[in-house]
Chain A
């Protein structure tokens, strides 16, 4: 434990608290993540009373060695990508805290909460207007995209 890098140490702490007291609708398999701390799969379910009620999603978190000073790379993966105006069909998410507004005081838990809340406030299930163009042209890493954040309502 003593030889762990600061980023690994923090990830270990985050994992422990997320397994112990997960936010509602969020589940993480501690044993699975414990194998490789730099890449997590977080299971998420749509909140009750929202358009996504009853749906299951998987979020992939990738952490660089500069975490938490550098934001994690967060994408939806798996068979069910939520249909949402800020989620592209390749799983990329347009969310300011994942790039410009990242802060080292944020955590996997707070990112999950932001995403659950982003999904919950959605009024109409639809893809972003530039979805097909973006998915064809974007980099695999969503952090390489020059996002412009313009819609605070959803």
Chain B
């Protein structure tokens, strides 16, 4: 038996993304501005996420009313202009250390201890 601790590896970036962008307390007060508020805000941010892979491959859920063409063109633009980890094979880069079973996970650098 290994030491079945949960991981917080670099490969969990996708999980971080989901948690931080999709979950967490949503503040609906007038004094609060948030990228989640409207489809206009954060369109660049969403484009950055989309450039992980294309939005279609990734199945990103954009808010209804989002101008998808604009997001896509931003995403394309972004991937042309920034260094992308092997864009022709997007499966490679963001997936380090994900295919472990619990017993294989020997967490050495766990946060929060």
State yes or no: do A and B come from one complex: no
